[in-house]
Structure 1
Amino acid sequence: MVCTCRHYLRYGLLCRHYFWVLKNKNIEEIPEKYIMRRWRRDIIPPELRSRRNRYGNENIVVQDSVNEITSVVYDCVELVGSDEKMLKVVLEKLKLLKKEVEAQVPKPSKKKDDIIGNMIGVSKPSTIEIQNPPVGNYKGCANDKRLMREKEKAIKESKKRKFTCGKCGRDDHNQRTYDKKKAKEQAETSEI
């Protein structure tokens, strides 16, 4: 089967024309020759699939065993395929195996610090010697107050308590600056 759009040759994906032909010929599975290796699950080797080899002390024997176990489980699932009865049988056997393992192996700690320590291979120290740095202001956020319109400023100003002079009762000065204000007014009137 050759298509003129060359979608398969360029990207490795079947185009809609292939699917129409497969549907018209009542083929339910894509033929093996049209599934490129780069789209398969097994392109990544089992030893790289596991995340356990990224952190902490490496135990090669344990890693190899874990990788082999996961590979065997994947192979079993692929062999069974879409057979529901066999899938149920495999699932039941895996559940029985899990119960046997749980009975023999002590349960791991559920504490967050223990889980993280086990994952990275280092336990949490009892005393913390290095503290987090202080958080500074972000750029452009020097002022934590929002900008106010003139109307809002006037309303806020009108709500403030007005101070008046104790000697004359006016609100444009106070008792301490009364003498200066009076002298200034007298100077202004004498100039005129």
Structure 2
Amino acid sequence: MKDFKAHGDGLLEVCFKKGEDVIASCSCRRFEQYGLLCKHIYFVFNMFKVKEIPNKYVMRRRTKDVVPNDLNNTFDLKVDDNDGHKKAKEVAYEIMHTGEYLVSNLMRDFDHLVIVRDQMRQMKVMVDELRITKPIDPKFDRYSRLIAYEKPNTDAPPTVRVPTGIRNKGRGSHKRIKSK
């Protein structure tokens, strides 16, 4: 295939195999570098009337079913040197990563995904039964306890003071430079 905008002599080689499993690769190596199919492969797909892009050429991070996990941002806060809080943070990370790993690897295997969901529901019921004697904490209190943050006990609004003597970096001297 000749591409006039390509570097070098502009000749690119596209390998294509159509059968049970569609295989395509291009010498520009865009898919290997960026995870995106190049226009050369799209052209070959169009020539051979491939109606759907094979799933192996669609990166999971580019699909609709990927949801950002805001819970990760909560645990990125620094904690004190208390070993209990550090261990709790490590366990929380491990639980989150294990859950994401299970979901991403079982997304195409519906039966096993349902089994994992049912087991997690059983674990949730078990945790709820353990907490019957104790009221459920609000979300903020659970996270603040995990990262060892104590909320001030004052009802007064916080006092914010304007810093004094701060110069903006690079603001200039406001003096006109004389010409030669």
The TM-score, its normalising length taken from structure 2, stands at: 0.46
Larger strand proportion of the pair: 2
Question: Greater Rg, structure 1 or structure 2?
Answer: 1
